[in-house]
């Protein structure tokens, strides 16, 4: 009898809870969304600023009818970067607004409203021994938003020689050693905590220049040497999977390779980790922001690119003879030994 009474009580509580009305949307509050990455390897710096907006309607309807609620009137904002050392502001620059094209999709408009500082004002502004503060003042509402970051101003490889051609295949050694991996290792950059190595493969297809990006897993700094192995079988598999082989009219030629390292600061590292896909039982995602009186992230990165690397002659010959993707020899490339 006690069990029946307990079940009835719980059932009544559930019914009562279901009948309780409450307002999901709270009173309006100005919430600024900020995304900005200071990059000392670039001549131009960008900061994207929007407003949070909640509506009891679909995302498509918001994009179609509520662009003025998502976007901020650039004339209302004063956006500044401040260069700070030992607590003293050495220099401040004002960011101007501009429009950048968006990718295809359901957006509130076909342009991004971006605040930026170009080369003339940013040259010699970013130094690794300074901190940088972002301040956003809404002159209309009086709302103020701020954040700060240190910057990354360089990168270098450690033992990997980027001046040598990449050799992923050598038929003149025993079978088990013919596919040759390449280990890339590097020094830690000041303020750099996360590292993304990419290989950009350039080729022509019937005379038209194209490219593919072979992205490597992220590497976090853990206090020991950092490295990433470019595995030869995976390199060739990447090309097979991304180049179609069902068109006999296609003629492809290898052109060059760019080796690209992107370094991120600690706050960017945290932001990336928090927003990784959830794979465990617990589905609740933690929230990370380093924006005072707003949400988003203001951090730093550095992009180092070694352009126009080439492949050894044996590796190029493997593309032609074994890959079955329509490659022919590029007469503009010099013959390079399989073991430079």
Query: φ and ψ at 63, to 5 degrees?
Result: -65, -35
Q: How confident is the model at residue 51 (pLDDT cuts 50, 70, 90)?
A: confident
Domains in the chain (CATH in brackets) are: 32-150 (2.60.40), 175-264+302-321 (2.60.40)
Strands 111-117 and 45-51: antiparallel
How many degrees, rounded to 5, is the angle at CA 46 between CA 44 and CA 49?
165
Report the predicted TM-score, pTM, of the whole model to 2 decimal places.
Answer: 0.83
Q: CB atoms < 10 A from the CB of 161, how many?
A: 7
In this structure, are residues 210 and 253 in contact, taking their beta carbons and an 8 Å threshold? no
Looking at residue 14, what DSSP letter applies? H
**Cα gap 57→291, rounded to integer Å:** 27
Tens-place pLDDT, residues 234-270:
999 999 999 998 787 899 999 999 999 999 999 999 9
**Cα end-to-end span (Å), the chain:** 87
pLDDT digit string, tens, across residues 157-176: 998 988 899 999 999 999 99
Task: Give the model confidence (pLDDT) of 261-299 as tens digits.
Answer: 999 999 999 999 998 877 777 667 778 999 999 999 999
Q: Give the whole-angstrom CA distance, residue 311 versus residue 338.
A: 9
Work out the average pLDDT over 183-192: 95
What is the Rg, in whole angstroms, of the alpha carbon atoms belonging to the chain? 27
- Closest by Cα among 118, 123, 115, 127 to 84: 127
Kindly report the backbone phi and psi dihedral angles of residue 45, in degrees, each rounded to the nearest multiple of 5, phi listed first.
-115, 140
Mapping DSSP to helix (H, G, I), strand (E, B) and coil, where does residue 221 land?
coil
Query: What residues form DSSP beta bridges with 167?
Result: none
Dmax (CA) for the chain in angstroms is 91
Quick: pLDDT tens for 212-222.
999 999 999 98
Q: Which of 284, 254, 262 is nearest to 40 (CA)?
A: 262
- pLDDT 10s digits, 115-153: 998 766 677 788 888 999 999 999 999 999 999 999 999
Q: What span, in angstroms and rounded, lies between the C-alpha atoms of 338 and 340?
A: 6
Q: Distance between CA 284 and CA 142 in Å, rounded?
A: 34
């Amino acid at each position: 009898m006690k069990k029946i009474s307990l079940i009835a009580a719980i059932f009544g509580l559930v019914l009562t809870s279901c009948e309780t009305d409450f307002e999901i949307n709270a009173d309006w509050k100005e919430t600024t969304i900020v995304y900005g990455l200071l990059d000392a390897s670039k001549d131009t710096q960008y900061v994207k600023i929007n407003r949070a907006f909640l509506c009891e309607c679909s995302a498509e309807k918001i994009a179609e009818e509520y662009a003025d609620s998502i976007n901020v009137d650039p004339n209302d904002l004063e956006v500044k970067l401040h260069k700070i050392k030992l607590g003293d502001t050495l220099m401040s620059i004002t960011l101007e607004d501009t429009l950048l094209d968006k990718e295809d999709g359901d957006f509130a408009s076909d342009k991004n409203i971006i605040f930026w500082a170009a080369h003339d004002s940013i040259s010699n502004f970013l130094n690794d021994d300074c901190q940088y503060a972002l301040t956003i003042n809404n002159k209309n509402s009086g709302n103020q938003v701020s954040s700060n970051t240190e910057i990354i101003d360089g990168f270098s490889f450690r033992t990997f020689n980027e001046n040598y051609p990449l050799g992923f295949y050598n038929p003149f050694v025993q079978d088990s050693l013919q596919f040759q991996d390449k280990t890339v290792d590097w020094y830690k950059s000041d303020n750099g905590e996360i590292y993304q190595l990419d290989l950009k493969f350039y080729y022509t297809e019937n005379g038209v220049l194209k490219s593919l990006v072979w992205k490597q897993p992220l590497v976090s700094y853990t206090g020991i040497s950092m490295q990433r192995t470019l595995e030869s079988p995976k390199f060739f598999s990447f090309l097979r999977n991304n180049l179609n082989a069902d068109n006999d009219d296609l003629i492809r030629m290898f052109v060059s390779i760019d080796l690209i390292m992107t370094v991120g600061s600690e706050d960017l590292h945290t932001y990336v980790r928090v927003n990784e896909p959830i794979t465990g039982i617990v589905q609740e995602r933690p929230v990370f922001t380093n924006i005072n009186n707003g949400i988003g992230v203001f951090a730093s990165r550095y992009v180092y690119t070694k352009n126009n690397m080439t492949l050894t002659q044996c590796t190029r010959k493997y593309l032609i003879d074994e890959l079955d993707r329509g490659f022919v020899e590029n007469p503009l490339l010099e013959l390079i030994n399989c073991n430079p």
